[in-house]
Amino acid sequence: MDRRKKAFLYSLPMVSLLPLCLFTGGPESPFRFVFFPLILVLSRQLAPNVLFVAGLAATLFFPILSLFTRQPIPDMPVFLAEISAYFLTSLAAVHVSRSISRERDRYENAISTFHSLSDALNYKNMNLQTTLDALSEAHKKLQEYDKNKTTFLSNVSHELRTPLSSIRSYSEILLNYDDIDNDTSKEFIQIINMESERLSTLVNEVLDLMKIEAGKVELNMSTVNPARLLEEGEKIVKPMAIEKGLSLEVEVDRDIPYIHGDRNQMIQVIVNLLNNAVKFTSEGSITLGARLQGDFVEFYVADTGEGIFPEEKEAIFDEFYRISDVVLHRPKGSGLGLSISKRIVEFHGGKIWVESELGRGSRFFFTIPLAPGNEPSRKEETRTTDIHVNAIYRPILVIANDITIRRALRKKLEELGYQTLGADTPGRALQITRSMKPGLIVLDVSDDWDNFFELLRWAKSSQIRSILVSLHIYNSK
Ligand code: ADP
């Protein structure tokens, strides 16, 4: 209740006593017996100025009353004494009230200081708690990071050791034994070659992953046309798919909106997924596509391969995770491709996941946010010209029965910047040339004579140049 209301309520009994005095007669009325204790009680409750006004009103009431009613004042000295008593009592009450209110103010000030101190303390305490929570969270993360790093390092060393030890043992056998026949030594060289390729892929992937982890990948963000990304991905992986007898389809709406991202990183993700699809599919087809899904473009790579166990759909995105290749006789990889892809996609603000049915194939998806405004940037337009320039070079088809010779030739040509296709026999080469028209054919002399001549005739009629070579790998010993 505020002070004014209180004053009004407390002064009510006093005011109501006044008419009583009128009827009981003059200043000697019983009113004075009520007034003195009443004003003392009120002095504890009412504000000093209210008390002063009330006391003054009571003091002046009788003289004014007798003026109006023209009644004689009975006994002047007694009357004056009574009035002074009223007035002095009022002043005393005012004084008491004032000191009480001062004390109260002081007390209230102390309480409010105490409250604000306690609030400040609570606030500090809350801050401390938040800092403590953040610290313990950071500590947990550090511990987890430390554990992950240890696991990662032991995985890397294990993965490096496997191909290295096989390279070492096969090369030692070749060096130490003279009586190894030609076929066996060729087989050993092939293994060494394959293992060293695996090693170099692994080292590159580990370096990529570490760069991403350390935040050292400089993303060159621009507005990118998803349809062109698919075109590029298809161009890179098509030779591998054809070589394995798989068809590669691209599904994309030409008007698909542009995305915002790093073009090369996007291509790396698409190529990773396509490579896996080729690697883990023995027959059927691979489909690569993109479609609009809300504020994102959703890319997908579907295959008709072996599929993935339901309980492994999440784990395959972890570093070094490979589905048990012993059980499924799957080709060996580093188990890093998907975790690198996941990081790249998440870095762009997208998501990556897989849907799969064991034995019937897998469908990998990833999303990338649309570019603001969806306008092609100048950068993208310049790239477009690059693509055209590349497109006028058709791939070189290398035909060699011996895998070591074929690989060596393709590697050299690719180092020079050419795209290559590979086939082990002229018969297989004829199949490939039907779907991908090569620009040049390099042919190691073969004993598949029928197909050999048919291929040469076809090449001549299609105006494709052919080079016949005879390559041998010598053991210098
Ligand atoms: P890598 O292919 O080098 O082993 P990844 O991280 O790319 O490593 O893939 C992890 C694992 O996920 C692979 O070892 C394979 O078992 C599984 N996997 C990936 N893609 C496919 C796919 N298209 N079909 C079946 N299994 C797949």
Residues 74 and 247: their CA atoms lie apart, in Å, by 130
Compute the 3-state secondary structure of the chain and give helix, strand, coil in percent, each to the nearest 5: 65, 15, 25
pTM of the model: 0.52
Closest CA to 90 of 30, 32, 40, 161: 40
Residue 193 has a CB neighbour count (10 Å cut-off) of 16
Tell me how far the alpha carbon of residue 337 lies from the centroid of ligand 1, in angstroms.
Answer: 8
Q: Tell me what pLDDT residue 144 has.
A: 81
How distant, in Å, are the alpha carbons of 86, 102, 146, 209, 417 from that of 152?
96, 73, 10, 11, 34
How many angstroms does the Cα of residue 233 sit away from the middle of ligand 1? 18
* Atom number in ligand 1 closest to CA 306: 25
Tell me how far the alpha carbon of residue 276 lies from the centroid of ligand 1, in angstroms: 6
Q: Which atom of ligand 1 is the closest one to the Cα of 334? A: 3
Q: Which long-range contacts (CB under 8 A, 24 or more apart) does 151-159 make?
A: 152/319, 152/320, 155/319, 155/320, 156/206, 159/202, 159/320, 159/334, 159/335
Separate counts of helices (H) and strands (E) for the chain: 13, 11
What's the CA-to-centroid distance between 378 and ligand 1, angstroms?
Answer: 36
pLDDT at 354: 96
pLDDT score at 150: 78
Ligand 1 closest atom vs CA 317: 6
Name the residue at shortest CA distance from atom 3 of ligand 1.
333
Query: Whole-angstrom Cα distance, residue 42 to residue 17?
Result: 15
Q: What local confidence, expressed as pLDDT, does residue 231 receive?
A: 92
pLDDT per residue, tens digit, the chain (477 aa), is 566 666 665 565 555 545 544 444 444 555 556 666 676 677 667 777 777 787 777 777 767 776 777 666 666 676 676 677 677 777 777 777 788 888 888 999 999 999 999 998 998 999 999 999 999 999 998 888 787 777 777 777 877 887 888 899 889 989 988 888 888 888 889 889 988 888 888 888 888 878 877 776 777 889 999 999 999 999 888 888 888 889 999 999 878 999 999 998 899 999 999 999 999 999 999 999 999 999 999 999 999 998 998 888 888 898 777 655 444 455 556 678 898 899 899 989 999 999 999 889 999 999 999 988 754 444 444 443 333 333 345 778 888 877 777 877 887 777 777 777 888 777 778 777 766 678 888 887 766 677 777 777 878 787 777 777 776 665 544
What is the 452 CA–ligand 1 centroid distance (Å)?
37
Task: With beta carbons less than 8 A apart as the criterion, state whether 413 and 398 touch.
Answer: yes
Whose CA is closest to atom 14 on ligand 1? 322
Task: Judge residue 389's burial from the number of C-beta atoms within 10 Å of its C-beta, 0-12 exposed, 13-18 middle, 19 or more buried.
Answer: exposed
Mutate to test the pocket of ligand 1, among 246, 280, 317 (most ligand atoms within 8 A of CB): 280
Of ligand 1's listed atoms, the one at least distance from the Cα of 364 is 23
CA 104 to chain centroid: 58
| Whole-number pLDDT of residue 75 | 67
Q: Which H/E stretch holds residue 472?
A: none
Tell me the CA–centroid distance for residue 460 and ligand 1, in Å: 41
Distance CA 57, CA 70 (A): 19
pLDDT at 375: 47
In the three-class reduction of DSSP (H, G, I as helix; E, B as strand; rest coil), residue 214 is classed as coil
Q: Which helix (H) or strand (E) holds 356?
A: strand 352-357
Task: Please give the distance, rounded to the nearest whole angstrom, from the Cα atom of residue 370 to the centre of ligand 1.
Answer: 28
Residues with CB under 6 A from ligand 1: 276-277, 280, 303, 305-306, 308, 316, 321-323, 330, 333-339, 362
